[in-house]
Chains A and B, each alone.
Chain A
């Protein structure tokens, strides 16, 4: 499947001045966590030099394995912890909060949804209480009918209808998907411009995951919210996000529109990721025999952080950090293979390196098949 469909279907570039300035942007964002221990000088390089822009009514997916720093970025953007370096810009202005009041002002515009709807709702309070708190904090001291109308509207927005059936329930009386909807409703009470969704579906049952994604997409279209969608599932990023950023070991390795990143990955790590995901339609093109694991972030490898696992790495990759290089329209990849330099590594086809089938002699199997009586299952045409 090499043909690339044109630009992602939903919400193509809209004109207008407000679209040029991202709602929320991170510039050279960096977070190092100190390593505990006596006189320890070491730090974990959780996030390094990440640039990211969230636009109105657009979804950006942040894809990476666990420990690649994607949740750290969400927490930095939500200002739940201070960044080590870099800037967070809200509508182009520095948005670093200095005190509680500033933080409140900030969270009114940037809300977060957490992974675990079982842990993020207080079990001893009803849905009414949880949502009322949020409404009163962000929309002022509503009472009586006004409050009731606000709560009803929130629950209807997340498709928990009729609201009267859910409003007086406790979290334990709801299913995982319903709880996640309540968590989204709570975030919407602030009428935010940005929603940071940290793995919003990975704790949910498979059959209801798409319902939540479709709800978030609907909110994006109707309320023009900018959404950062964090996930480890690159297929769901393709389904839901306009743009996809792939992270590896604390750095962004590839960005671009979701369709081209998933269909024609440029960075060797993205290729490995796409080729490793289970895909029953394309069993032949799976990366087999790949070895290695993400590096320690206390002492990350010099140069490209993927170089110890990369089959194409050369001396340049081991010494210098690759910048994000343009590899197509609106696409960038942090790989020296796309640089315009004499000492760049030669990129090959990942499947040639990893596509080897397990060493099974096919003739033996065919001989075995011939001896097997009875109907053969799944005759492969």
Chain B
């Protein structure tokens, strides 16, 4: 069975992080802040596609914007580190950079394709000029003609003919505009590409075209991707590794095939069963009961426990931490934040530990 697509098999050696997010915390508001991200740690390896999944409001976009220091007020980064490792091995903390370094680093090291990117082009300028602008800002020596030539190459790369350079955004379709945004993000050959829901507004046929394009470009240019979406089935297809977020925390971080076939966190399992399948038997599905918690008044303990069928009294008292799984034979690198996987912690707090439920311990 060769169900694992090429892009996954081509995964580069692990433990060569290009981006390390360490204990990142973000608050919204000043007087009575909402803790939107709580001590989130995440690694992105070189050449890897990392999927970030979760429901709206769980903090996935906030994580991406905080890691690039693009978070608009009232968002406030209250702690943590974001270490970026350059191709030559020099490391820098993005959160500690001064303004001019940050300005130079943006787009060059890390580029973002924004949510609703189709509407983030300026409607009154031709797209060629908009791409060339970014190139000229980062490479002061370059002439306008050269920058436009480069813009043409970039358009060509994403499958748009270079003579569309003189088009205005409204002359392009949604999918083409999205591809222009991707071309723009790749203009300075960045090492990390963050894509915030890049295909949500597109139809499935166009979505597949864009996703293929990204995979092919990554193959050729070797950048790393953080792909943010709520569509887990798409992520399983394109990502090497998936981090699932819930209420401002990462609850599971594992390779995409592991998440799909052997989910360990009840929320990951529920999310996978929230999509009716296109194939196979038609069966009754329930989604996840309840609704996501209000981030401004999070309960103590596990934030998912109100919706979790496996919750017991310990879940209200102890906040789970992201640790290795308690299922024998699992990939040692995969992590999960569930008390069922940390019997020691439960015992130490004076509760009766419970085993991992059978459904979440599939091999």
Interface residues of A (CB under 8 A from B): 1, 5, 9, 65-66, 175-178, 205-211, 214, 232, 234-236, 238-240, 259, 262-263, 272-274, 276-284, 286-291, 293, 357-358, 360, 362, 365, 368-369, 372-375, 377-378, 380-381
Contact = CB atoms under 8 A, between A and B. Distances in A.
B76 interface: no
B292 to A, nearest CB: 6
Contacts of A280: 233, 236-237, 260
Interface in B142-177: 159, 173-176
B275 interface: yes
A236 B258 CA distance: 25
Contact of A282 (B13, B203, B279): B279
Contacts of B6: 357-358, 360, 362, 365
B208 A276 contact: yes
Contact of B278 (A175, A207, A238, A378): A238
Contacts of A276: 204-205, 207-208
Contact of A232 (B1, B204, B237): B204
A278 B288 contact: no
Interface in B226-273: 230-234, 236-237, 240, 255-258, 260, 270-271
Given A205-B291, A280-B237, A372-B13, A239 B285 contact: yes
Nearest to A281: B279
Contacts, number: 170
Given A240-B276, A284-B2, A381-B1, 7 more contacts: A9-B282, A206-B274, A210-B286, A272-B205, A290-B208, A291-B209, A365-B6
B14 interface: yes
In order of increasing CB-CB distance, the 10 nearest A-B pairs are A239-B276, A210-B287, A65-B203, A378-B257, A207-B288, A175-B291, A280-B236, A377-B255, A278-B234, A205-B55
B331 interface: yes
B206 interface: yes
Interface stretch (B180-188, B190-198, B211-219, B353-361): B211-219
Contact of A274 (B233, B275, B278, B331): B278
B328 interface: no
Interface string B1-32: 11111111111111000000000000000000
A288 to B, nearest CB: 6
B141 interface: no
B227 to A, nearest CB: 12
Given A175-B292, A276-B208, A378 B255 contact: yes
Contacts of B208: 276, 286-288, 290
Instruction: Categorize the interface residue count of chain B.
Output: 35 or more
28 contacts: A66-B174, A66-B203, A205-B55, A205-B56, A205-B230, A205-B291, A206-B271, A206-B274, A206-B275, A235-B276, A235-B278, A238-B276, A239-B282, A278-B234, A278-B237, A283-B5, A284-B2, A287-B205, A288-B212, A289-B212, A362-B6, A369-B9, A374-B13, A377-B11, A377-B257, A377-B333, A378-B4, A381-B1
Nearest to A373: B13
B277 interface: yes
Given A284-B2, A290-B209, A374-B14, A1 B282 contact: no
B89 interface: no
A274 to B, nearest CB: 7
B350 interface: no
B279 A279 contact: yes
B208 to A, nearest CB: 4
Nearest to B199: A278
A372 B274 CA distance: 36
A210 B291 contact: no
B331 A178 contact: no
B205 A207 contact: no
Contact of B331 (A1, A9, A375): A375
Contact of A273 (B204, B237, B282): B204
Contacts of B256: 378
Nearest to A377: B255
Interface in B325-340: 331-333
Nearest to A232: B203
A283 B5 CA distance: 7
B219 A358 contact: yes
Contact of B291 (A208, A362, A369, A378): A208
B10 A360 contact: yes
B140 interface: no
A280 B6 CA distance: 14
Nearest to A234: B278
Given A279-B233, A375-B332, A377-B257, A208 B279 contact: no
